[in-house]
């Protein structure tokens, strides 16, 4: 039983000046009077696709397919929880049902680490001790061109030709591949123009940066009367630097055309297809793939809201990051549209892992 599991702390609390300065997990009771806004159909689809990935086995992807390193929950229970959600998707808005069938583990954040990166970042500086920072990401929609022009001079590149028949494991042990030779700034300056690297589309700088940051872009191809969904495939193995502005990063992603919105996946062929409003990105290396997360927060109207999603995505910003999740909000034409449409969502949420009772 989870109630019998030992509460796990990261680090030694005696070294810290405030309680729970490091991430902390303990059984707790959510506010079952909060208004539920759970799309059972979308949640089930994302849960099923995540379960399919987990069922590939720990040997396939030990980086994320595991019980979790900070609060271990057996994979058997993670799988059972995802399966149960699909079997009872019509009952997930019933608080009595949730209370009857699930254990809840409250997640308090890594305040100490958040403060380390808080320079010029008020959201990190002002982190509450018992709530998680919830950033938001989205699927960016843009108009693109087949060839570069003055309005859309920047390429969204596919993998270099030399890699198209290599698995990621085969490619990652060949240090002289084109993908490993250039940082983002060199690529923006034209380093790949005369290289055997296909361009999937040409976009503005703002659209390119949104694609790199969000991981997916839906492009309406100008003069072609068709839409492409492009998703990140492999990167140049340069870490994302949380102290730098996104435009100044050196980490760069190569993309691939896909058939839906994609979350995490070691190989591009097996990435998890996810849905907005029921998907979270987070530190999968420490938390493990497929945990079901309940968030609760008060709206400006005063109503308390409950939402549920699956940890099915990650990114460079989540390397050693136990103070934050990223909420997949939807499809938007740009940052202004995205910001306006998500202004009702809070910066901090009370977060609980949901696990099916045994």
The domains found in the chain, sorted by start residue, are 1-37+70-134+349-358 (no CATH), 139-269 (2.40.240.50)
**pTM higher than 0.85, yes or no?**
no
Residue 17: pLDDT above 80? Answer: no
Least Cα distance to 233 among 176, 310, 156, 318 occurs for: 156
Question: What confidence tier does 121 reach under pLDDT thresholds 50, 70, 90?
Answer: very high
Q: Which residues of 73-94 are buried (b: 16+ CB within 10 A; e: fewer)?
A: bebebbbbbbebbbeebeebbe
Pairing of strands 324-332, 132-144: parallel
CB atoms within 10 A of CB 61: 19
Q: Which residue has the tokens 């061109």?
A: 145
The pLDDT tens digits for 214-238 are: 889 999 998 788 999 999 999 999 9
pLDDT tens by residue, 32-90:
999 999 999 999 999 999 999 999 999 999 999 999 999 999 999 999 999 999 999 99
Q: Express each pLDDT in 145-167 by its tens digit.
A: 999 999 999 999 999 999 989 99
Query: Under a CB-based contact definition with an 8 Å cutoff, are residues 219 and 201 in contact?
Result: yes
**pLDDT at residue number 172:** 92
Q: Give the mean pLDDT of the chain.
A: 92
Question: Under a CB-based contact definition with an 8 Å cutoff, are residues 222 and 149 in contact?
Answer: no
pLDDT at residue 183 is higher than 50: yes
pLDDT at residue number 268 = 82
Backbone phi, psi, residue 262, to 5°: -110, 140
HSE-CB of 318 using CA atoms within 13 angstroms: 24
The 10s digit of each residue's pLDDT in 341-358 is 999 999 999 999 999 999
Strands 132-144 and 348-356: antiparallel
- Going by pLDDT thresholds of 50, 70 and 90, the confidence category of residue 20 is low
Q: How far apart are CA 49 and CA 259, in angstroms?
A: 14
Share of the chain above pLDDT 70, in %: 94
Q: Which two tokens stand for residue 64?
A: 């994320």
What pLDDT is attached to residue 93?
A: 95
Scan for tokens 């680490």, then name that residue: 113
pLDDT for position 22: 83
In this model, does residue 11 exceed pLDDT 90? Answer: no
């Amino acid at each position: 039983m989870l109630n019998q599991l030992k509460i796990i702390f990261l680090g030694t609390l005696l070294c810290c000046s405030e309680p729970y300065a490091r991430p902390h997990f303990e059984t707790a009771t959510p506010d079952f009077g909060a208004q539920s806004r759970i799309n059972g159909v979308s949640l089930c689809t994302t849960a099923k696709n995540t379960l399919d990935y987990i069922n590939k086995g720990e040997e396939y992807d030990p980086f994320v397919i595991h019980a979790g390193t900070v609060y271990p929950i057996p994979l058997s229970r993670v799988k059972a929880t995802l399966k149960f959600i699909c079997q009872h998707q019509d009952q997930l808005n019933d608080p009595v049902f949730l209370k009857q069938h699930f254990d809840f583990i409250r997640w308090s954040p890594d305040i100490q680490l958040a403060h380390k990166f808080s320079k010029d970042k008020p959201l990190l500086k002002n982190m509450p001790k018992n709530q998680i920072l919830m950033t938001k990401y989205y699927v960016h929609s843009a108009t693109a061109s087949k060839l570069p022009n003055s309005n859309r001079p920047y390429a969204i590149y596919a993998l270099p030709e030399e890699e198209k028949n290599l698995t990621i494991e085969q490619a990652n042990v060949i240090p002289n591949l084109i993908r490993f030779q250039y940082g983002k700034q060199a690529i923006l300056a034209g380093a790949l123009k005369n290289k055997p690297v296909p361009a999937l589309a040409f976009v503005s700088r703002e659209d390119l940066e949104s694609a790199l940051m969000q991981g997916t872009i839906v492009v309406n191809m100008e003069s072609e009367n068709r839409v492409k969904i492009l998703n990140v495939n492999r990167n140049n193995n340069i870490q994302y630097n949380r102290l730098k502005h996104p435009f100044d990063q050196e980490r760069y992603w190569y993309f691939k055309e896909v058939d839906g919105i994609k979350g995490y996946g070691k190989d591009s062929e097996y990435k998890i297809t996810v849905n907005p409003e029921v998907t979270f990105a987070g530190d999968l290396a420490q938390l493990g793939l497929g945990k079901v997360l309940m968030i609760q927060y008060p709206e400006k109207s005063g109503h308390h809201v409950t939402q549920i999603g699956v940890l099915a995505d990650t990114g460079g910003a989540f390397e050693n990051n136990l103070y934050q999740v990223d909420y997949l909000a939807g499809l938007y034409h740009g940052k202004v549209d995205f910001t306006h449409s998500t202004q009702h969502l809070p910066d901090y949420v009370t977060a609980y892992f949901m696990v099916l009772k045994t």
